[in-house]
Amino acid sequence: MKFFTDENLLLAEEIIGRYPKPRSAMIPLLHLAQEQEGWVTDEAMAEIAELVGTTSAEVLGTCSFYEMFKRHPVGKYVINICTTMSCALMGAGDLMKHAELRLGVKSGSTTADGMFTLEGAECQAACTEAPCLQVNYRHQYKVTANQFDALVEELGSSDHEVPEHGVLSQVRQHIPEDRFVGVVPPEDVTTAPVWLNDNGSDQ
């Protein structure tokens, strides 16, 4: 069983090293897995379990709690149309209907060419800009039917900046090793954590 690419495996080990306990790296590794494949496969969860020293069931428990970890294949672009109150009042229902017709799929499914997944979503915290949607979690405000069509056009071309589903950022950050917490044996911990100090100051 081998899920992560060699390059990502190195990265996974770097990420694990940042934490005092390997298990703390579970969510970052789920992101890494989703970035590699576009969604989180069973193989990925099993491998993450092995890497952080726990059971696959625990990784599944964590992964499935978060809606933004997809456990089934999704399109290259996931479009979430907000359906909560403000957007609903400002025409999200019509927008959704339009989107379904334009993409030819029902909300909750993926186009046959694997380009788009259409979903309804809860409030995206942009009520002043209703109706709004997100493409791979990047906001679009006050979306009209025409704008929606234009967006689909644009995503279909190569001329846009939205990365594929799963990509968190286009610049990979590396944290220098001297800033890792790493594993501190309990007997080496001599001071109480900062937040337990009397005045909360770091001394």
Partner 1 sequence: MSDQAPSEVTVTVNGTEIEAQPGEMLIAATDRAGIHIPRFCYHERMSSVGMCRMCLVDVDTGRGPMLQPSCMVPVADGMVVDTESDDTKRAQEGILEFLLVNHPLDCPVCDKGGECPLQDQTIAYGPGESRFVEEKRHFEKPIPISDLVHLDRERCILCDRCTRFADEIAGDPLIQFTERGNSTQVLTFPDEPFSSYFSGNTVQICPVGALTAAPYRFKARPWDLEETESTCTTCSMGCRISVQSSRNELVRYLGVDVESVNHGWLCDKGRFNFEAINSDERLTVPLVRDQENQRQLLGTDWGSALAAAAEAIGQAGPQGVGIIGGSRLTNEDAYAWSKMARSVIGTDNIDAQLDDGLPAELVLGLPPATIADACEADTVLIVGPDLKEELAILHLRLRGAATRGRTKVVQIGPTATGSESYAQHSIRCQAGEAAKTLTELLSSSDPLAQQLRDGSVVTILGRASMAESADPAISVAAVIRAELPHATFLSALRRGNVRGALDMGLAPGFLPGRVRIDNPSQALLQKWTDIPKEQGLGTTEMLQAAAAGKIETLVLLGADPLCDFPDRNLAAEAIQKVKTVVAIDNFVTSSVAQADIVLPATAYGEQNGTTTNIEGRVSRVIQKITPPGSTRDDWMIATELAWRLGGDLGLTSKDEIWREIEQVAPSHTGITLERVTSDETHEGILVQQSSIDLTLPIPQDTPIADGYGLRLISGRKLWDGATATAHSPSLQHLAEPPTLKVHPNDLQRLGIPSGSEVRVISTRATENLTAVADSNIQRGTAVLPFNQPGGGANRFIDATATINDIRIETL
User: Binding residues for partner 1, per CB under 8 A?
Assistant: 42, 45-46, 54-61, 64-65
Nearer to partner 1, 45 or 135 (CB): 45
Nearer to partner 1, 5 or 64 (CB): 64
Nearer to partner 1, 71 or 102 (CB): 71
How far is the C-alpha of 24 from the C-alpha of 151, rounded, in Å? 38
Least distance CB 124 / partner 1 (angstroms): 18
Least distance CB 83 / partner 1 (angstroms): 16
Nearer to partner 1, 42 or 94 (CB): 42
How far is the C-alpha of 190 from the C-alpha of 202, rounded, in Å? 14
Positive or negative, the Cα torsion across 101, 105, 109, 113? negative
Q: Which long-range contacts (CB under 8 A, 24 or more apart) does 49-58 make?
A: 51/12, 51/13, 51/16, 51/22, 51/25, 52/16, 52/22, 52/23, 52/25, 52/26, 53/22, 53/23, 54/23, 54/26, 58/26
Least distance CB 187 / partner 1 (angstroms): 10
Nearer to partner 1, 57 or 125 (CB): 57
Least distance CB 198 / partner 1 (angstroms): 12
